[in-house]
Amino acid sequence: MRVVDTTRTRPVPPEPEQPRSGLAARVSLGRVFAPVPSEFLLIASTALILTVFGLVMVLSATSATSEDAGGGPYDTMLKQAVFAAIGIPLMFLASRFPVSFWKRMAWPALILATLFQMLVFTPLGIDNDGNRNWISIAGLQAQPSEFLKVTLAIWLGFILYRKRTLLADWRHVFIPAIPVGIAVIGTVMAGKDLGTAMILVLILLAALFFSGVKLRVFLLPLVLFAGGVAYFAVSSPDRMRRYMSFLNEDCLADYFGDCYQPLHGIWGLAGGGVFGLGLGNSKEKYSWLPAAAHDYIFAIVGEELGLIGCVVVLVLFALFAVGAFHIVRKTDDPFVRITAGAITVWIVGQALLNVGVVLRLLPVFGVPLPFLSQGGTSLMSVLLACGVLLSFARTLPVRTAASVTQPVRGRLPR
């Protein structure tokens, strides 16, 4: 009589689940420190480095003028540091939200940001250099249009994602993306802020491009918006004169006019040479360069840190672009691809526009240098956008050493 051993095939009953406590609780909390994709680390590190570097340059550019205004040398930098202290945790908090959260918030966020922008036309609105695009609440100034950039990118990503199977028809491409986009941009143009409006147009065109619409459908809004920008530039003689000043070959003849700031920006860059005058040793910041801490902070970087400092800043933006575009390339979610592409084109494109203005290669648009220029609202909106990118980066597969070296079961390793 043969005896059959049934212990090998007999199923083992599962153990009753024990309540989590002690070590188990600590293990669950350890998921917060789980491995993240390299794109997450690249975007987060470059954003943090640029933000800290921007605080240092704002301090250097405003220390002398802050004392002349009756305050301390650290007043302006401390105000900027408060927004950085709020924006950096906000960035990492936003990185924890799932992609489904951003899809649900697309419409509410854009509506709230547009209503916030409409406050510039109330008694809270103030004029700044001919633009009514600022509000003042309890002595604190804010630029609501900065939040339109990130919310418009998210909204466009959601709308074009929902219509991804219908984008071959130009009517589905244009409605509601184009009418809503024109309305949002119109709230900014009503305040005569052409620079911010151009960035919003850039975001809209980038979203259409990364959605994969046909070229002939993409060209029509491109021509429409290019014509609109040209019309608003030509319709104002004062704005046209300022924009075309960069083509003036004899700019010294108009030294005290529209060429004053561009000339001092170029002189600041040229005065720094290769190695710069040293941190804090700028001459242009002593009221020679009016927007030293704002639109022309790149000139102060070049004067104090030289060509090397300028190259470092550009390399950091290039690394940021590499990490962000890797998300666009690797993701399988159309919403992530469109939104990440629009945000990346906004931040990197605005940086290139700012640098081109300082180098007198482009007209004066009045757009800040992301992360570096003085402006709490601008810094917070850029850090929030980085949080959205980090949230998207968490959806990418993590490439670890074990996953690379471990062969697939059932196959021989090569």
Our count of domains for the chain comes to: 1
CA 322 to CA 328: how far, in whole Å?
10
Q: The pTM is what?
A: 0.86
Q: Which pair of tokens denotes residue 301? A: 């970087």
Q: What is the pLDDT of residue 369?
A: 95
Ramachandran angles phi, psi of 137, nearest 5°:
-125, 115
In-domain check, residue 8: no
**Contact by Cβ (8 Å): 233, 243:** yes
136 in helix, strand or coil? strand
More confident residue, 280 or 321: 321
Q: What is the pLDDT of residue 164?
A: 84
**pLDDT surpasses 90 at 236:** no
C-alpha separations of 379 from 30, 262, 373, 398 in Å: 31, 24, 8, 29
73-108 pLDDT, tens digit each: 888 899 999 999 999 999 999 999 999 999 999 999
- Closest C-alpha to 357, from 304, 297, 301: 297
Domain, as residue range, for 204: 36-395
The three-point CA angle 396-401-40 to 5° equals 30
207-234 pLDDT, tens digit each: 999 998 887 777 777 787 778 777 776 7
Q: Is the N-terminal amide bond of 237 cis, ω within 30° of 0?
A: no
In-domain check, residue 183: yes
- Closest C-alpha to 346, from 206, 229, 230: 206
Q: What is the pLDDT of residue 243?
A: 67
- Closest C-alpha to 191, from 144, 121, 245: 121
Q: What is the pLDDT of residue 230?
A: 75
104-120 pLDDT, tens digit each: 999 999 999 999 999 99
pLDDT band at 57 (very low <50, low <70, confident <90, very high): very high
Q: What is the pLDDT of residue 250?
A: 66
- Closest C-alpha to 132, from 145, 114, 120: 120
In-domain check, residue 413: no
**pLDDT surpasses 50 at 20:** no
Surface-to-core class of residue 128, CB atoms within 10 Å of its CB (0-12 exposed, 13-18 middle, 19+ buried): middle
In-domain check, residue 229: yes
Q: What is the pLDDT of residue 114?
A: 96
More confident residue, 91 or 257: 91
In-domain check, residue 112: yes
pLDDT band at 21 (very low <50, low <70, confident <90, very high): very low
More confident residue, 7 or 233: 233
Helix H or strand E encompassing 141 = strand 140-142
Query: Any residues with CB less than 8 A from the CB of 33 and at least 6 apart, and which?
Result: none
Q: What is the pLDDT of residue 99?
A: 95
Average pLDDT, the chain: 84
**Contact by Cβ (8 Å): 389, 43:** yes
**pLDDT surpasses 90 at 149:** yes
Q: What is the pLDDT of residue 366?
A: 83
In-domain check, residue 402: no
Which range has the worst mean pLDDT, 157-166, 241-250, 330-339, 393-402? 241-250
In-domain check, residue 14: no
In-domain check, residue 160: yes
More confident residue, 360 or 352: 352
290-312 pLDDT, tens digit each: 888 899 999 999 999 999 999 99
CA 257 to CA 31: how far, in whole Å?
59
Quick one: CA dihedral 17, 22, 27, 30, positive or negative?
A: positive
- Closest C-alpha to 201, from 231, 171, 173, 229: 229
Q: How many CB atoms lie within 10 A of CB 146?
A: 25
Mean pLDDT for the stretch of residues 51-56? 96
* Longest Cα separation, the chain: 115
**pLDDT surpasses 80 at 139:** no
Mean pLDDT for the stretch of residues 317-322? 97
